[in-house]
Amino acid sequence: MMNVGSSTIRCTFLVLLTAAVGCGSSSHSQAETNPAGAFVVKPYIQLGDPADPRKIDGLDVVWHAADVDAGWKVEYRAADDQPWRSTDAPRSQRIAVVGQPPHRVYRAGLRDLTPGGVCSYRVIRGDEVVFSSTVKSPKAKEQPHRFVVFGDCGAGTPGEKAVAYQVHSANPDYVMITGDIVYSRGRVSEYRDKFWPVYNADEASRDVGAPLLRSTLFLAAAGNHDIADRDLGKNPDGLAFFFYWDQPRNGPALRDGGPHVPPLRGPEENQKAFRESAGDAYPGAGNFSFDYGNAHWTVLDTNAYVNWTAREMRAWVERDLAAARDADWRFVSFHQPPFNSSKAHFADQLTRVLADVFEAGKVDVVFSGHVHNYQRTYPLRFTLAVDAAGRAVKPGELLGGSFVLDRAFDGRTMTRPQGVIYLVTGAGGATLYDPSQQDDPDSWQEFTCKFVSKIHSLTVADVQGKTLTVRQISADGNELDKFSVTK
């Protein structure tokens, strides 16, 4: 028996707990169980909605459990020699959508973490520790950090699981998903089949996935498969992005029924259940920004119902990037790529309308998905062609315009790009697009300098002061591309 505050905890899981907190420098969590079905979904780490998303000093532990009061609490410590302390009482949101048993999403904040440290936490139900893990605390500005990016992933495929295993091997500080998180309609049921079991598996295995979510911050942009279909008649448990992702709420003010928000469809009962379950995450949670270390991230919903030529939407991005001028790096993440050489989704390059905003805002790299392969552009500047009335000219399928390409940049000896680098990293697990184009450079657009479409892959980026090194790693662990940027 051991005492924790005023309560006494049975040490049913003492062995596992000891292993978890005694792992010293290892930032990988230990295997855990789900005793007596404590969880509907085991704990995972989210950024939450910090008071100042540019000064992160904590993370949220989130888990899903049955719709009953169960005396949950969370304790944590920033180092093994520190006493355990309790978080504020976990908050919960009831998810009660048509076709699913009601469940609760619980959230508890780990605050005042030591930058770059490894924090231990344990989730307690009643008087029993039912889960424990370690988590990587956010890095400070002066500390190097590593992040991983991929998209189009939760398809339940061997490729998804192999990529998850490679993410675990890369041991990043955080992971950014560029949308199409779970197929095919972002449903609660699909998250349970294809997302949680892969990225929060108890053991790391090429065939299963890895225990990532419990120990590593995951962030996500929303893709078309996540939130574009608002028909709650067909998919009453759809739009689960709004239930399960806890991210900053500092995007443009959007309102239900207003511009850039497509109407919900389906029976009124289903719509009401969705709205009550989503709470304040709906409708605006697709756009947000935050700082991690010396990098600023802007995350956008670029599904077609958002008009990114609208003054108020562009102004938000402009202001966000201007406010982040003091960050060493500015990264942008959204789903639909502005510059894509793949025959698939070739007409979906409407996000080009934001290229001038990114250039003016000194964005370094834009990460997208949607197209299920890997592509890198030359550093580029793009001028959108407009008619006399200022409207974009659309010759054929694409938004037309002119390019200035920095072909001198090679990412090895020439590492100071003139322009923005655009990556497509949508090879995270779903069926690959246009494998034959990999060996057919004549089929690439002039702005593309690298195109890998025969294997699933992930982007691994290292930020060390004013040097950024980006590698594309295949699902079998081989390096497919590498470049560095310096300032």
Site of interaction with Fe ion (CB under 5 A): 180, 223-224, 370
Cβ neighbours around 416 below 10 Å, total: 11
Cβ neighbours around 140 below 10 Å, total: 14
Question: Distance of alpha carbon 417 from its chain centroid, rounded?
Answer: 26
Q: Which residue's beta carbon is nearest to the bound Fe ion?
A: 370
Which helix (H) or strand (E) segment holds residue 160: the answer is helix 158-170
Q: Please measure the distance between the N-terminal and C-terminal CA atoms of the chain and give it in whole angstroms.
A: 55
3-state SS track over 146-215:
EEEEECCCECCCHHHHHHHHHHHHHCCCEEEECCCCECCCCCHHHHHHHCHHHHEEEEEECCCEEECCCC
Nearer to Fe ion, 277 or 340 (CB): 340
CB of 339 to Fe ion, least distance (A): 16
Q: In whole angstroms, what is the distance from residue 136 CA to residue 122 CA?
A: 14
Determine what percent of the chain falls in helix, strand and coil, rounding each to the nearest 5.
20, 30, 50
Nearer to Fe ion, 21 or 222 (CB): 222
Q: In whole angstroms, what is the distance from residue 180 CA to residue 155 CA?
A: 9
Nearer to Fe ion, 186 or 293 (CB): 186
Nearer to Fe ion, 348 or 406 (CB): 348
Under DSSP, the state recorded for 261 is -
CB of 427 to Fe ion, least distance (A): 12
Nearer to Fe ion, 87 or 224 (CB): 224
CB of 487 to Fe ion, least distance (A): 32
Under DSSP, the state recorded for 217 is E
User: Residue 280 to residues 23, 235, 253, 263: CA-CA distances in angstroms?
Assistant: 38, 21, 12, 16
Nearer to Fe ion, 224 or 453 (CB): 224
What is the chain's Cα-based Rg?
A: 22
CB of 430 to Fe ion, least distance (A): 8
Give the residue from 426, 431, 199 showing the smallest Cα distance to 191: 199
Q: In whole angstroms, what is the distance from residue 264 CA to residue 268 CA?
A: 9
CB of 223 to Fe ion, least distance (A): 4
CB of 250 to Fe ion, least distance (A): 25
Nearer to Fe ion, 110 or 427 (CB): 427
Cβ-in-10-Å burial (0-12, 13-18, 19+) of 65 comes to buried
CB of 369 to Fe ion, least distance (A): 7
Which residues touch 69 (CB under 8 Å, ≥6 apart)? none
Two structure tokens written together for 288: 């947000």
CB of 424 to Fe ion, least distance (A): 11
CB of 205 to Fe ion, least distance (A): 27
CB of 35 to Fe ion, least distance (A): 38
Partners of residue 380 on adjacent β-strands: 405, 420
Count CA atoms within 13 Å of residue 464 on its CB side.
5
DSSP H helices, 349-455, are 355-360
CB of 75 to Fe ion, least distance (A): 40
Partners of residue 374 on adjacent β-strands: 425, 452
Nearer to Fe ion, 13 or 183 (CB): 183
Nearer to Fe ion, 28 or 370 (CB): 370
Under DSSP, the state recorded for 113 is P
Partners of residue 460 on adjacent β-strands: 148, 471
Nearer to Fe ion, 129 or 299 (CB): 299
DSSP H helices, 44-175, are 158-170
Nearer to Fe ion, 271 or 368 (CB): 368
